[in-house]
Amino acid sequence: MFGNLVSMRLLAPAVVLGAVALFLFLASAFVRRRETGRWLFPGAALIGLAAALVTLLETVRLQYLPDGYNCLLGGCTAFLGMLAYDPLAVFFQALVMLAAVAAVVLTVGSPAVPQARRGEYFGLILAMTVGMCLLVSANHLLMLYVALEAVSLCSYLLTGFDAKARSAEAGLKYALYGGVASAVMLFGLSWWYGLFGSLNLQSLHFCMLGSPALSPGESGAAVVALLFILAGFGFKIAAVPFHQWCPDAYEGAPTPIAALLSVAPKLSGFAVLLRFAFNLLFDPRDPETLAYAPAQLEWALWAIAALSALSMTIGNLAAIPQNNLKRLLAYSSIAHAGYLLMGVVGGSQGGIAAVSLYGAVYLVMNLGAFAVVAAVERATGSEDLLAFHGLAKRSPLLAVCMAVFLLALTGLPPTAGFVGKVYLFASLLKGGGSLPVILAVVGIVNTVISLYFYARVLRAMFLLPPEPGLPERIAPDGAGLLAAALAVLTLALGVFFGPLAMLAEWSAGFVR
């Protein structure tokens, strides 16, 4: 009983978010005046997210909890080992909460979300954030699946929230692909439990290498089970070939939701993938001398590397002909999933820190790019490339901000994207071997390819004349101000990246 009370204390941020989400769902049934709902719903959502962040930071300050819980230094588990509370969980919980804050801010003034349904809308955002907080802390394969489904169900509803047919179609496609991916992952989990009788993440390595009773057929079944589980991860992070839902979902979803989907579920998926890969590939009894997986598990590294190379290549090549900015950023998101997977292949504590650092950087620059798209969409009614023609003359602030984000997504100095990619490539090549070198070459080539389609947007904004019928001036609104703040942060992190690098190193301390 006492242990459960301590577990609830560790779960306090998610409890706060869940309570505010429940309030929003109930309030939407009783608040009928649009003037009241216009400030009540987003205000409550922002207060709930701020309270959850404060609660999370307060929990980090706990040096010692009763009953042997030393959470800040070594990490601990809650609810009989189902959830882990460690630096990795804290770091990524903070990221997904900040992404939710940005989505709420972008929604204020957005015409895509009906005013009468904003209570349910903001409630779903907070419920989705609860699922992502549980996902990054999942320490058990069953908990992982339940949290993944919670995030996915809220994502489907939010994607189809707009009244337009395009949004409904996107939500349906997303739900169909997600249902298939969930079924495949659950099938793999059932095979794994049938073979080993355990779903604990800490047992993954020993199940694969410490089960002499497995016959050759059972060993093959274990490999298939792991591939099925990886398919579920691939869907959540939008890695090739599990990416088909991504462009349609981003294009059809309300732009604030597209911005949220592009970063928060992806980062939560990577957090639990790091936890899964570490427990599978490395011997947890010797975390200080991490090396590549033993020969029996080298195929898993090659599988993840193949996902990385395919995601980078197909994502960047498919982005070249895109004229819709949301679809272009969707394929860019697929490519960046490939870049982040390089850190997973790199392994060791340095690879985990590189994924954490690049995840934080990617959140800032990609949310900023979507904020510019949202501002232009509100002014012109379109997110096509034609709406960006001559943007430097109509809104110099938005054009400069978009240029900063595109240069950062490419990975050019002095932006934060350059620092993030340096860390990723350094962590990949640190271990040596042919696989990291091959993957690094693929990553460099794809970085050059990405410069082409990002340059198309820069050309449209700075070199082409405005299209007839477009507004002569675009006044900065909430989305534009958010874009400006994120652009400054993108440049600042490109120069003063030390504190973020220290936080990323701290997040990787969960391996101890």
pLDDT tens-digit series, residues 388-437: 898 888 888 999 999 999 999 998 989 999 999 999 999 888 867 788 88
CA dihedral 137, 143, 145, 147 (to 10 degrees): -60
Q: How many domains does the chain have?
A: 1
Say if 306 falls within a structural domain: yes
pTM recorded for the entire structure:
0.91
Say if 280 falls within a structural domain: no
Task: Outline where DSSP puts E strands in 35-144.
Answer: 76-78, 83-85
- Chain position carrying tokens 């599988």: 303
* pLDDT on residue 441: 92
Question: Is the separation of the CB atoms in 106 and 166 below 8 Å?
Answer: no
pLDDT over 60 at 2, yes or no: no
Say if 364 falls within a structural domain: yes
Say if 500 falls within a structural domain: yes
Q: Which residues of 10-27 are buried (b: 16+ CB within 10 A; e: fewer)?
A: bbebbebbbebbebbbeb
pLDDT over 70 at 342, yes or no: yes
* pLDDT on residue 67: 45
pLDDT over 80 at 283, yes or no: no
Q: What's the CA gap between 275 and 120, in Å, rounded?
A: 33
pLDDT over 70 at 207, yes or no: yes
Token couple for 34: 């649009």
Sign of the alpha-carbon dihedral angle for 170, 174, 175, 180: positive
Question: Is the separation of the CB atoms in 345 and 304 below 8 Å?
Answer: yes
pLDDT in tens, 355-375: 999 999 999 999 999 999 999
Say if 493 falls within a structural domain: yes
Amino acid identity of residue 508, one-letter, is: A
Q: What mean pLDDT is predicted for residues 256-278?
A: 90
Say if 229 falls within a structural domain: no
Say if 93 falls within a structural domain: no
pLDDT over 70 at 139, yes or no: yes
Residues forming beta bridges with residue 257, ordered by sequence position:
none
* pLDDT on residue 1: 42
* pLDDT on residue 487: 94
Say if 439 falls within a structural domain: yes
Angle at 6 between CA 271 and CA 349, to 5 degrees: 30
pLDDT over 70 at 210, yes or no: no
pLDDT over 60 at 287, yes or no: no
Q: What is the extent of the structural domain holding 303?
A: 285-512
Length of the chain: 512
Count Cβ atoms below 10 Å from residue 82 Cβ, excluding itself. 20
